[in-house]
Structure 1
Amino acid sequence: MAEKTQLPSWSDKEIWLHLGVHKTATTYTQKLLLANHTTLEQRGIVYIHHRQTRRELTIPIQTYDGQSFEHDMRQGKDKLLEAPVHYFKAIGSTKAGVVLLSDENLLGHTGHIVRSGILYARKETFLARLASVTPKQPTRILLTIRDYADFFSSVYGQYLHDVQPENFVPPNVFTASILRRKPSWTNLVRVIGKHFPASQIEVWNYADFCADSSVVYSQMFGSGLTAASPSNGQPAEPKRRSMSSKALNAFLSCCYDAGPAPALANLRSIIEDHPRGASQPGLDIWKSEDRATLNQRYRSHRRALRMSDYVTFHRLAL
């Protein structure tokens, strides 16, 4: 990677880094930040659009070795290596005291999780590269975690929208790999702390967000933020319908009959034919006994994070 330099313009600024994770309302959070950019700026916080962060920071540092996003290598290796330097130089020119960055892909991608059965399999590599180009240690690193069973079910649903037929991993293979490798949010937080030892890592439970998102957002960014509108004046991103368990069964039946390619080509129509709703529960790839095992593991890891002396684990007021 390009040599790390301390840019003078960052000496009086803080970086707040929101890492997601996937499937914890990160997209909605980014829309909320865009919708409230004026309020945030009045507080001395400037939010950098996640598309800019992804284009100029995430993709370049993850394309360095050519193992990911090979289509972006058309930009040329030198241009990719220079992109993060220009990114931080440009956003460092702001007069705000806090620069807020958000991109859940900085930790990796759903495809990495499903193919490996590891909670962000390339986190060590990607976080090391991120640390090497960041002009100073973030003051705050914000992270929302979710119970393992629901998280991996949702991750698998997103993965199906993006995967190419030749890389398709059946859900039973994925779940077996997860159970064998034993996921750990505590290990993810440890790796983040390893690469950003001067940062305060703050963690939220996704269930608390679902219970009262306004409290969570107040803890993250301060009170008084208004709900995000669908587009916030930005080009609308294609909305994907949540997958139901019945849709997954129909998809797998198509896979077995015709193969992954036709099934994936018809995924959208399959989901539309079996919409999630009151009578159609959301996607669940787990057997009941495996879900119970994962839930117990999540409770244990959540307690460990609450007791950690290097993590602030936020909770709703009782």
Structure 2
Amino acid sequence: MTLYLHLGAHKTATTLLQNVLKHNEAALEERGLARIKIQPRHLFWHLYRDGDRDAFKKRRRTLARKLQQYYKSWPNAVLSSETMFGTSDLHRVNCLYPRADTALRVLAQLTSGMNRKVIFYVRRQDNFIESSFINRLQTLATSLHLDHAQLLSDTTWCSFEHYLSSFTPSQLSWLHLIKRMEAHFGAENLIIRPFESIHRGNAAYAESFLAPMCATHDLELAPQVYENRSFSAKALEEFIRLAPKQGFANLRSLRLHLQDKYPNTSYPRPMLLSPEQRQEILQTLATENSILFEQYFSDVDRTDISYQPVGS
């Protein structure tokens, strides 16, 4: 039996992959792959929010029992969650997912003795920075770490340049995060893939995700239930204009309204970095990205995806 832990990252089409798992649940179970169901607000979500160690211990025991149950009952099982490491917010961070080590340590302990694989998708840092900023605003009403009243009273809350100046792009190394994963699970147990492979299509993206776990023939790999709902440039502009006038309870409904009215599937996406900033970020991380490609990406991904600056 193999336990697959799909742990993110944010903004790498995790919703698509989770919908594929749900949509094909019966067919996947027939092939020996079970989807482990947990609450969206899992044990780490609560720990990051309120730090209640006693409650965390109880939730940890519950998750341990569930993992053991699936491990004994199924040929293969998959647990998919993009929030185990905390949020994607980069404001004042000194590395990608600074809380990841807590989750990695606990998950490694809970699965000790099991055959397990960690699946993790990365995204080119310039695009990840933009997506993380947009996601920060989109989740203003629901993010556990944000004080919406304080943010909205600060004129810099919607400033991308202020956000960008709060961290150093050189610290956004996927390689460093993956080495932290290695320390807990071993390099041989990591499956690292680039989000950018989605350019081959949703079905191909989902198939490559499922291929290590089970046979993929005759599965519906691009179900219509999936829709990439995010802010377009127009929706982002309107949200920044309207959010300060809203009470906390209305922020989520405002976000959903603008995503429906100005979806990024029909309107231009926000372009927050200048070409010069984008080039500088990729140049700063060029060496580590090169090592990432050589050590962890497949031959196919290395040939048609680039994380290098233009002209390299």
TM-score normalised by structure 2 residue count: 0.75
1:303 corresponds to:
290
Q: CA RMSD in A?
A: 3.5
Q: Residue 121 in 1 paired to residue 110 in 2?
A: no
Q: Which residue of 2 aligns with 1:84?
A: 63
1:13-43 deviations in Å (ceiling 9; x for gaps): 2211212211111111011112223333343
How do residues 224-243 of structure 1 correspond to structure 2 at under 5 angstroms? 224=217, 225-230=219-224, 241-243=229-231
Do residues 156 (structure 1) and 141 (structure 2) align? no
How much has 1:201 moved relative to structure 2?
1.4
Equivalent in the alignment of 2:272: 285
Is the CA contact (8 Å cut-off) linking 1:157 and 1:243 kept in structure 2? yes
Does residue 141 in structure 1 map to residue 128 in structure 2?
Answer: no
Kindly provide the CA deviation profile for residues 93-136 of structure 1, in whole angstroms up to 9, marking residues without a partner as x: 41x2222121111222134x345364212112221222222243
1:247 corresponding residue in structure 2: 235
Task: Give the aligned partner of residue 198 of structure 2.
Answer: 209
Gaps of 5+ in 1: 1-12, 233-238
Number of the residue aligned with 1:185:
174
Whether the 8 Å CA contact 2:34–2:76 is kept in 1: the answer is: yes
- Which residue of the partner structure matches residue 107 of structure 1? 85
Amino acid at match of 2:198: F
CA contact under 8 A between 1:247 and 1:274: conserved in structure 2?
yes
* CA–CA separation in structure 2 for the residues paired with 1:157 and 1:102: 23
Shift in alpha-carbon separation, 1:166–1:131, aligned structure 2, 3 A: farther
Amino acid at match of 1:204: R
CA gap of 1:277–1:41, structure 2 versus 1, over 3 A, is: closer
**Aligned residues with identical type, % of pairs:** 21
TM-score by length of 1: 0.74
Say if 1:117 and 1:259 are closer, same or farther in 2 by CA, change over 3 A. farther
Tell me, in whole angstroms, the C-alpha distance in 1 between the residues paired with 2:200 and 2:174: 21
What SS does the corresponding residue of 1:82 show, helix, strand or coil?
A: helix
Amino acid at match of 1:313: S
1:69 paired to 2:49: yes
Query: CA 1:198/1:144 → structure 2, altered by over 3 Å: closer, same or farther?
Result: closer
* 1:315 paired to 2:293: no
Which amino acid in 2 is paired with 1:185? W
Residue identity in the other structure for 1:283: P
What is the alpha-carbon distance in structure 1 between the residues aligned to residue 71 and residue 80 of structure 2? 16
Q: Tell me the distance in 2 between the aligned counterparts of 1:167 and 1:150.
A: 27
Equivalent residue, structure 1, for 2:11: 23
Deviation at 1:166, TM superposition (A): 3.6
**Amino acid corresponding to residue 104 of structure 1 in structure 2:** E
* TM-aligned CA distance change 1:117 to 1:253, over 3 Å: farther
Q: What whole-Å deviation, never above 9, does each CA across 1:235-265 have from its counterpart, x for those lacking one?
A: xxxx78421223333433456x869969957
Aligned partners of 1:243 and 1:282 also within 8 Å: yes
Structure 2: distance between partners of 1:177 and 1:137: 40
What are the superposed Cα offsets for residues 266-292 of structure 1, whole Å, 9 maximum, x if unpaired?
Answer: 4445555654355x4212332331122
Q: CA shift at 1:88, angstroms? A: 1.8
Instruction: Please list every run of 5 or more consecutive structure 2 residues that lacks an aligned counterpart in the other structure.
Output: 141-146, 152-156, 305-312
How many pairs were matched up? 285
Structure 1, 292-301 or 27-36: larger mean CA deviation: 292-301
SS in 2 for 1:283: coil
